[in-house]
Amino acid sequence: MQLKPYVRSLTIALSLAFVAGCSSTGGTQDGTSTGAGGAGSGMGAGTGVGGAGTSGYGSGQAGSGGVGSEAGQMADSRIPEARTIYFAFDSDTIRPEFQSVLEAHSRYLRANPGTSVILQGHTDDRGTREYNLALGERRANAVKRYLDVQGVSPSQLEVVSYGEERPAVRGNTEQDHARNRRVVFAY
């Protein structure tokens, strides 16, 4: 019975779409417009453990134009620039501000069926090694389920968890921890 996982994935995707539709549009909480930080530009202030708002770090909304337009089709032939999405503390729930990043990757993967990607799950260093490996895997699987619902072939997706073993940054501030709670698209 393959229908039950499909229905569950569809329900998750619809819930995410609803939450994204209800969220505000415009800039981030710190007043910058989407993608203004550029690659590798540090994080915005005010990122809490719960992380309910947009964060300003690495939100790198994918820069693809309108769907179906010539610019959009051209963007589908290139790997999206934003290759990292971030998670709240002890959570594997995809945050609404990263939906456009995931949609850009799903468009790219659907347009390039011969391309595969490794979804690398990471955590900060709080918690046991075993727990963090499992949490990293749950995060990567959440992204995989989202892409699957968007029509990406499961054969194009591989999940790997590194837990706390490969931090993006070293340090013990909340900003350091937040930068390490992520899933990276490795093409």
For residue 169, the domain's CATH number is 3.30.1330.60
Q: Per DSSP, which regions of the chain are E strands? A: 84-86, 117-122, 157-163, 182-186
On whether residue 81 sits in a domain, the answer given is: yes
Q: How many domains does the chain have?
A: 1
On whether residue 163 sits in a domain, the answer given is: yes
Whole-model pTM?
0.63
> Cα dist. 183→41, 84, 119, 123 in Å?
18, 6, 6, 9
On whether residue 12 sits in a domain, the answer given is: no
On whether residue 43 sits in a domain, the answer given is: no
**75-133 confidence digits (pLDDT tens):** 578 999 999 999 999 999 999 999 999 999 999 999 999 999 999 999 999 999 999 99
**36-78 confidence digits (pLDDT tens):** 333 333 333 333 333 333 333 443 333 333 344 444 455 578 9
Pairwise CA distance, residues 159 & 144, whole Å = 8
On whether residue 109 sits in a domain, the answer given is: yes
On whether residue 90 sits in a domain, the answer given is: yes
Which of 138, 84, 72 shows the shortest CA–CA distance to 110?
72
On whether residue 126 sits in a domain, the answer given is: yes
Query: What count of other Cβ atoms lies within 10 Å of the Cβ of residue 171?
Result: 13
Which of 49, 42, 46, 40 shows the shortest CA–CA distance to 126?
49
Share of the chain above pLDDT 70, in %: 60
**69-87 confidence digits (pLDDT tens):** 444 455 578 999 999 999 9
37 versus 187: which is more confidently predicted?
187
Give the range of the structural domain holding residue 181, as residue numbers without chain letter: 63-187
On whether residue 139 sits in a domain, the answer given is: yes
Average pLDDT, the chain: 75
